[in-house]
Amino acid sequence: MRAEEIRQAINRLELAEKLLLVEDVWDSIALGNSELPLPEWQKRELDKRYESYRAGEQVLHDWKAVHENLRNNFK
């Protein structure tokens, strides 16, 4: 089935059917998540940041404080 045919079939579905389809698609993506490629540059950056964290060079912020700060700044 081609992409356009899939889109047309989706457009004919009821909302509840579309939501179930989205759930099924998301589940299939999650199952293959371990197969997602990680570019070498991204791996190096993550390794660098982790080492910086382990060496105590990172300033960490509580996610609740970050969230509150963002909400206050963008009201």
Provide DSSP, 27-70. Answer: HHHHHTGGGS---HHHHHHHHHHHHHHHTT------HHHHHHHH
| Mean confidence (pLDDT) of the chain | 92
Which residue would you say has higher pLDDT here, 60 or 35? Answer: 60
Distance separating alpha carbons of residues 19 and 62, to the nearest angstrom: 34
Q: Could you read off the pLDDT of 23-55 as tens digits, one per residue?
A: 999 998 888 766 778 899 999 999 999 999 999
Give pLDDT, residue 37.
Answer: 82
Rg of the chain (C-alpha set): 21
Q: Break the chain into its structural domains and give their ranges.
A: 3-35, 40-73
